[in-house]
Amino acid sequence: MSFLKVKGKDIVKENNEKIYLRGVSFGGWLNMENFITGYPGAESSVRKAIKEELGEKRYQAFFDSLLDSFITESDFEFLAEIGATVVRVPFNYRHFEDDMNPGEYKDDIFKYLDKVVELGKKYGIYIILDLHAAQGWQNAGWHSDNPKNISLLWDNKDYQDRVANLWQHIALRYKDEAFIAGYDLINEPDSPNMEKLNKFYKKVVKAIREVDQKHIIFLEGNHHSKDFEGLADPFDDNLAYSSHNYTPATHSARRYPGPVVEMDRATGSVYADKKWLEESLLERNDWIFKHQRPSWIGEFGALFDGAVNNPTPADGQRLKALKDQLDIFNKYDQHWTIWTYKDIGVQGLVVPKQESEYLKRIAGLDKIKRELGLDAWTARNHGFLQAETSKILKIVANSVATNLNDLSLDYSGEWFKKLGQRSICGTVSTMLSSIYAAQFIDLSEKEIKDMHEQAFKFENLEKREYLIEVLKNALK
């Protein structure tokens, strides 16, 4: 397999043959996420709780066996069978360095990254490495392993230097590895402005190019990969660009085509159909199209509320929207990776069986999380505590209106979202990390390993056949 490179708006092999990078993301593996594997809060918080509750040896057994079981050769064999040409591998900087010892790389993670590269070679699947959780947090989300809900990266030179140095360290190892399609510099940046983002991107690209001139570098839009206006014109011959294209039609719609509420709550209700989905893509990716560079939809996907083989009527409607979305992506020659490949039942192509020991042990906590709305992604601004949050904001709004005669603030939009994420999905979820850890306190190291293998090894999973069929058709 040859190195890939950018040629105008296309990605081509060394013989100039066009290739489309289309496949899945390995979300929840080397960067864990709460709704994907079932814990509350952020990865670093739950790791701390597991160590405190189970002790060092069982802590190591817990996470080693989870990582070893989550992705194996059987997963690659399956992905090759359905036609995937690429896998996006999100990773957390904490696998490489400790905050108390910045720049002292542990490199244990390379056994996993090397494994996916070798499996990619065997099954003809390219790999995109994605820094999903960066030093100093590039956004306030749980998916950045961010228990504080604040972003420090953009105003801190030390954090930015660490990101650049880490990428150089990774690029030095893989500079001659053709099965790596490229480097996704940072997931869903949320910089205060484009000037800071442009300076950061140029800094990191420069660090990589000092050791690796061959690989494609993917740059994501600002504000969670949605905004590109103001991004610096392409400053390297081998740059491609990535947007994330989540839509309420696949996220929360009850029927499709039909009315949906915009995910940012700013524009109210719209009528979602294939025409609207197409216009949304063209609007979001307009900057990329104008600059005639490759466009990669790094994330998109549907949320399913029913069991893996018993979808709700609304699940079927969201699947129809997803199919239309894929048709549109392919019409405009987009590269894409769906989010996400494997989880405990919300989005995955493959999921653990309900009778697995792991799911049985976390079942009670999962019900609590759903009832209270503790996972930001799946709660969709619902849950008992979200309802109580709205009462708090109404009290504040009433006090401001009564005492200052001021009714100008939109309490139902951004403030509702911030208070919910920081207090409910942040503080309360982190508080329950120890409760999650306690569900495994009676297990030996071997029992922990057996539990994870039963839950997450491909051979033991259920397939979401209706989703897989849609993807197979799009991958033809």
**Is the per-residue pLDDT at 266 higher than 70?**
no
Question: Looking at residue 382, what is its pLDDT?
Answer: 84
The answer to the question of residue 439 being in a domain is no
pLDDT in tens, 141-175: 999 999 988 999 999 999 999 999 999 999 999 99
Sort 406 into a burial class: Cβ within 10 Å, 0-12 / 13-18 / 19+: exposed
The answer to the question of residue 62 being in a domain is no
Task: Report, as an integer, the average pLDDT of 392-408.
Answer: 91
Question: Looking at residue 74, what is its pLDDT?
Answer: 98
In percent, the amount of the chain with pLDDT more than 90 equals 87
The answer to the question of residue 44 being in a domain is no
**Is the per-residue pLDDT at 343 higher than 90?**
yes
Catalytic, out of 299, 445, 447, 469: 299
**Active site includes 188?**
yes
The answer to the question of residue 42 being in a domain is no
Domain tally for the chain? 1
Q: Residue 10 is part of a domain; what is its CATH number?
A: 3.20.20.80
Question: Looking at residue 416, what is its pLDDT?
Answer: 79
The answer to the question of residue 360 being in a domain is no
The answer to the question of residue 157 being in a domain is yes
Question: Looking at residue 415, what is its pLDDT?
Answer: 81
**Is the per-residue pLDDT at 322 higher than 90?**
yes
Q: How sure is the predictor about 387, in pLDDT bands with cuts at 50, 70 and 90?
A: confident
Strand-pair category, 269-272 with 216-220: unpaired
The answer to the question of residue 378 being in a domain is no
Cβ neighbours of residue 243 under 8 Å, at least 6 residues apart?
A: 220, 221, 225, 226, 228, 284, 285, 288, 295, 296, 297, 298
Task: Report, as an integer, the average pLDDT of 213-235.
Answer: 98
**Is the per-residue pLDDT at 12 higher than 90?**
yes
Helix or strand or coil: residue 350? strand
**Is the per-residue pLDDT at 1 higher than 70?**
no
Window from 2-11, 131-140, 176-185, 386-395 with minimum mean pLDDT: 386-395
Question: Looking at residue 107, what is its pLDDT?
Answer: 84
Q: How sure is the predictor about 243, in pLDDT bands with cuts at 50, 70 and 90?
A: very high
Task: Report, as an integer, the average pLDDT of 334-353.
Answer: 98
pLDDT in tens, 415-466: 877 787 778 878 889 899 999 999 999 999 999 999 999 999 999 999 999 9
In percent, the amount of the chain with pLDDT more than 70 equals 99
**Is the per-residue pLDDT at 265 higher than 60?**
no
**Is the per-residue pLDDT at 2 higher than 90?**
no
Task: Report, as an integer, the average pLDDT of 284-288.
Answer: 98
The one-letter amino acid code at 206 reads K
Instruction: Supply the range of the domain harboring residue 153.
Output: 5-29+71-352+461-475
**Is the per-residue pLDDT at 223 higher than 70?**
yes
In contact, 226 and 188? CB cutoff 8 Å: no
Is the bond into 267 cis (omega within 30 degrees of 0)? no
Q: How sure is the predictor about 263, in pLDDT bands with cuts at 50, 70 and 90?
A: low
Question: Looking at residue 410, what is its pLDDT?
Answer: 80
In contact, 49 and 363? CB cutoff 8 Å: no
Nearest to 240 by CA among 169, 291, 176: 291
**Active site includes 97?**
no
Report the mean per-residue pLDDT for the chain: 95
Task: Report, as an integer, the average pLDDT of 381-392.
Answer: 85
Scanning the structure block, which residue is given the tokens 């992604």? 377
Q: Which two tokens stand for residue 283?
A: 């609007």
The answer to the question of residue 259 being in a domain is yes
Nearest to 302 by CA among 338, 342, 271: 338
How far is residue 20 CA from its own chain's centroid? Answer: 21
- What is the torsion angle, in degrees rounded to the nearest 10, for the CA atoms of residue 323, residue 223, residue 96 and residue 234? 90
Q: Is 41 left (phi over 0), alpha (psi -120 to 50) or beta?
A: left
Higher pLDDT, residue 384 or 137: 137
Catalytic, out of 188, 229, 355, 465: 188
DSSP for residue 332: T
DSSP states of 268-287: -EEEESHHHHHHHHHHHTHH
Task: Report, as an integer, the average pLDDT of 128-144.
Answer: 97
